[in-house]
């Protein structure tokens, strides 16, 4: 993942955030600097780090969220701490749970974002489902690159819409409907063959999605 250390990211071009999601982050939100902006800079980077990103020809919206080992730019040591659950996720879980159970999830969400991420933030929605949707957006920003988005998509029964995301290649621009079989993890063939309880089971068909036209 590390854009600032020596490794796969340098040769693959790194990982970029969905452009539409990035544009939804206010300039007052400290997390805006977790990615390069349209001008390929970030207020979170010092001169050395910014030069590294430029020298490696990283494109706009590339992540700089994850620091290199011991903050040594260009290090080839890829070891690092991996948080299994961050306190920030617990706040977001609490806000959603309160909203969907009759509590004041809106206040929990607003207080958390104001105190830790964006002092100018105001949660403008009021209904439980709208608060849940705003929590989901905040989870996409806060937990970007941490491997959790698929679980939210499945539990909330959401589509995967890549339009307007900034993907440069037309063949990977999809608008996948919620509940599509392509979003399921199939049971491995070895498990089906060796587990008597799965005798006769076949995974549901999951044809590759058809690319769609992009939007700005």
Whether residue 79 is contained in a domain is answered as no
Nearest to 61 by CA among 117, 144, 152: 144
Same domain assignment for residues 165 and 154: no
Same domain assignment for residues 30 and 63: yes
Same domain assignment for residues 154 and 164: no
Same domain assignment for residues 202 and 175: yes
Q: What percentage of the chain reaches a pLDDT higher than 70?
A: 100
Whether residue 82 is contained in a domain is answered as no
Same domain assignment for residues 107 and 138: yes
Q: Phi and psi of 127, rounded to 5°?
A: -70, 155
Inform me whether the pLDDT recorded for 2 exceeds 90.
no
State how many domains the chain has: 3
Tens of pLDDT along 148-201? 999 999 999 999 999 999 998 999 999 999 999 999 999 999 999 999 999 999
At 83, the pLDDT band (50, 70, 90 cuts) reads confident
The pLDDT value given to residue 9: 86
Residue spans of beta strands (DSSP E) within 51-209: 160-161, 175-176
The pLDDT value given to residue 7: 87
Whether residue 80 is contained in a domain is answered as no
Same domain assignment for residues 109 and 134: yes
Same domain assignment for residues 59 and 115: no
Tens of pLDDT along 15-64? 999 999 999 999 999 999 999 999 999 999 999 999 999 999 999 999 99
Residue 168 neighbours by CB distance under 10 Å: 10
Q: What range defines the domain where residue 135 resides?
A: 87-158
Question: What is d(CA 41, CA 57) in angstroms, rounded to the nearest whole number?
Answer: 12
Whether residue 208 is contained in a domain is answered as yes
User: Which residues have C-beta within 8 Å of that of residue 180, sequence separation ≥ 6?
Assistant: 206, 209
């Amino acid at each position: 993942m590390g854009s600032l250390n020596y490794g796969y990211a340098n040769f693959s071009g790194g990982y970029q955030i969905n452009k539409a999601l990035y544009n939804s982050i206010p300039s007052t939100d400290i997390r805006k600097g977790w990615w390069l902006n349209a001008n390929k800079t970030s207020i979170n980077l010092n001169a050395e780090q910014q030069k590294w990103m430029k020298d490696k020809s990283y494109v706009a919206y590339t992540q700089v969220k994850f620091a290199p080992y011991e903050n040594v730019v260009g290090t080839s040591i890829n070891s690092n701490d991996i948080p299994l659950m961050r306190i920030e996720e617990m706040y977001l879980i609490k806000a959603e749970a309160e909203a969907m159970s009759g509590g004041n999830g809106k206040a929990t969400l607003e207080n958390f974002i104001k105190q830790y991420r964006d002092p100018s933030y105001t949660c403008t929605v009021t209904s439980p489902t709208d608060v849940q949707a705003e929590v989901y957006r905040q989870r996409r920003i806060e937990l970007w690159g941490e491997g959790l988005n698929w679980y939210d998509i499945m539990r909330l029964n959401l589509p995967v819409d890549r339009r307007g995301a900034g993907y440069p290649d037309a063949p990977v621009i999809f608008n996948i409907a919620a509940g599509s079989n392509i979003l399921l993890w199939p049971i491995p063939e070895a498990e089906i063959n060796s587990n008597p309880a799965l005798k006769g089971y076949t995974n549901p068909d999951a044809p590759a999605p058809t690319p769609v036209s992009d939007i700005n």
